[in-house]
Homo-oligomer: A and B are copies of this chain.
Amino acid sequence: MDRLIDAIAATDNPSIVGLDPTPALLPEPLLEPVRSVQGVARARALAESYLKFNTAIIDAITGIVPAVKPQIAMYEALGVAGVETYVRTTEYAQQHGLYVLGDVKRGDIGSTAAAYAAHLSGMPVVGSFSEESSQESIDRKDGAEKTAEKTTGVIDLWHEDAVTVNPYLGVDGILPFVEAASATDKDIFVLVRTSNPSSSQLQTLNAEGKAVADHVGDLVEQWGSETQGSFGYSRVGAVVGATHPREGARLRESMPHTFFLVPGFGAQGGSAKDVASMFDASGSGAIVNSSRGIIGAWKKGAQAHDADAGTVEEALDIVGRSARLAALAMRDSITKELKERNDH
């Protein structure tokens, strides 16, 4: 988790921008080329518009935020073309120095979990050629990729620094990810207490004296125990929704070596005060996600009409500037809250 914590310190900003495009979040000039084609071509056109939208936002927030969190579901909704935009987005974000947390919520067993872990560890080795990893670095252009290969000897196909993982299958589903993360200096975030209303159907069932989510919390601490970095946090983080501030504070206590990803800020109802309880006493230990609040900020601004009525370039300029302002406001509201809490 050290790389993420360093990136947060460098920007003085414990927040992460969710890159979750939907048609409703795109300005009109990006939708026009989509409507003019039919069938599978329409999905491809929308995927291209998503990429333009994402790159404008990444350009605008680079240097202000430490990390982005693309939600792969939004891209899978467009089939293969969408997945390609996902990967081009993660690659572009990494090239801009952003830590990329792929919100993929994968989870499976045994050899299948190992295959999913290729999100972090690169494509599976074919045969057993000892020269394989050194040969990989031939014929590659991108500097960042070359560095990753030199370090790890893998073919990185997803350009993610971390992924989210579902715990329902137990440690069999987690261990391959932990191993992949350790081998490549990356991280994972396990769903513990999600921000949605019906999360309580399973997560707060009282099991043998405590909530299922608390059991998962204990497991997460245990799964990460061998991977603590220089700040005391392991490579196995937890997803804890901003909409559960009291449970979050309790989990913060019981999971001292686990870094939290906190979704649910803004649009889903979580306030800066709510998320403050997820941080440790030194103001570290968590990163707060906002998606619509940042990437959809242009729609609430005075220039929303201009974005819809102008050219693609004008629209992307408004989208980017609005995202930048919203990211700055989010940073300030969270850091102010953490500072006030510390002054008490």
B-chain residues with CB within 8 Å of residue A212 when the two chains form the complex: 202, 205, 207, 212
Contacting A155 at CB < 8 Å: which of B35, B43, B206? B43
B-chain residues with CB within 8 Å of residue A208 when the two chains form the complex: 205-207
Contacting A219 at CB < 8 Å: which of B111, B195, B201? B201
Given the interface pairs A23-B126, A119-B76, A127-B23, the reply to whether A155 lies near B112 with Cβ below 8 Å is: no
B-chain residues with CB within 8 Å of residue A158 when the two chains form the complex: 79
A35 x B206 contact (CB < 8 A): no
A109 x B170 contact (CB < 8 A): no
Contacting A73 at CB < 8 Å: which of B77, B82, B108, B135? B108
Contacting A172 at CB < 8 Å: which of B113, B168, B196? B196
B-chain residues with CB within 8 Å of residue A126 when the two chains form the complex: 23, 31, 34-35, 42, 46
B-chain residues with CB within 8 Å of residue A124 when the two chains form the complex: 22-23, 77
Q: What is the minimal beta-carbon distance from A183 to any residue of chain B, in angstroms?
A: 15
B125 x A23 contact (CB < 8 A): yes
Q: Is A194 part of the contact surface with B, judged by Cβ < 8 Å?
A: yes
Q: What is the minimal beta-carbon distance from A20 to any residue of chain B, in angstroms?
A: 7
A216 x B196 contact (CB < 8 A): no
Contacting A108 at CB < 8 Å: which of B87, B105, B113, B203? B105
Q: Is A300 part of the contact surface with B, judged by Cβ < 8 Å?
A: no
* Partner-binding segment picked from A3-11, A136-144, A317-325: A136-144
Give Cα distance in the complex from A266 to B23, angstroms. Answer: 45
Q: Is A304 part of the contact surface with B, judged by Cβ < 8 Å?
A: no
Given the interface pairs A78-B157, A124-B23, the reply to whether A112 lies near B205 with Cβ below 8 Å is: no
A139 x B46 contact (CB < 8 A): no
In residues 15-29 of chain A, which contact B (Cβ within 8 Å)? 20, 22-23
Specify the chain B residue showing the minimal Cβ separation from A78: B123
B-chain residues with CB within 8 Å of residue A89 when the two chains form the complex: none
Contacting A118 at CB < 8 Å: which of B77, B106, B198, B203? B77
Q: Is A171 part of the contact surface with B, judged by Cβ < 8 Å?
A: yes
B-chain residues with CB within 8 Å of residue A249 when the two chains form the complex: none
Given the interface pairs A115-B73, A139-B38, A191-B169, the reply to whether A206 lies near B207 with Cβ below 8 Å is: yes
Q: Is A116 part of the contact surface with B, judged by Cβ < 8 Å?
A: yes
B169 x A196 contact (CB < 8 A): yes
B115 x A74 contact (CB < 8 A): yes
B168 x A167 contact (CB < 8 A): yes
Give Cα distance in the complex from A79 to B76, angstroms. Answer: 13
Q: Is A225 part of the contact surface with B, judged by Cβ < 8 Å?
A: no
Q: Is A277 part of the contact surface with B, judged by Cβ < 8 Å?
A: no
Q: Is A40 part of the contact surface with B, judged by Cβ < 8 Å?
A: yes
Given the interface pairs A22-B115, A105-B166, A127-B23, the reply to whether A135 lies near B38 with Cβ below 8 Å is: yes
Q: Is A303 part of the contact surface with B, judged by Cβ < 8 Å?
A: no
B-chain residues with CB within 8 Å of residue A13 when the two chains form the complex: none
Q: Is A52 part of the contact surface with B, judged by Cβ < 8 Å?
A: no
Q: Is A71 part of the contact surface with B, judged by Cβ < 8 Å?
A: yes
